[in-house]
Amino acid sequence: MWTLLSDIPVGIDKGRILSALRIPDDEGDDSYAALAGVMEAALGLARPKAIYRVVDDIRLADEGAVIGGIAFRSKVMAVNLKGAGKVIPYAITCGKELDAWSSRIKDPYETFLADNVKEHILYGAIAHTMRTVEDAEGVANVRTLNPGSTVDWHLSEQARLFELI
End-to-end CA distance of the chain: give it in Å, rounded. Answer: 9
pLDDT given for residue 110 in this prediction: 97
pLDDT given for residue 62 in this prediction: 83
Does the pLDDT at position 143 exceed 80? no
- The identity of residue 61, as a single letter, is A
pLDDT given for residue 80 in this prediction: 87
Say what the alpha-carbon torsion angle 80, 82, 83, 87 is, to the nearest 10 degrees: 60
pLDDT given for residue 138 in this prediction: 86
Q: What is the mean pLDDT of residues 8-25?
A: 95
- Residues paired with 51 in a beta bridge: 4, 91
Is there a contact between 60 and 81 (Cβ–Cβ < 8 Å)? yes
Query: DSSP readout, 97-162?
Result: HHHHHHHT---HHHHHHHHHHHHHHHHHHHHHHHHHHHHHHT--S-----TTSBTTB-GGGHHHHH
pLDDT given for residue 84 in this prediction: 85
| Least confident window among 13-22, 54-63, 136-145 | 136-145
pLDDT given for residue 44 in this prediction: 95
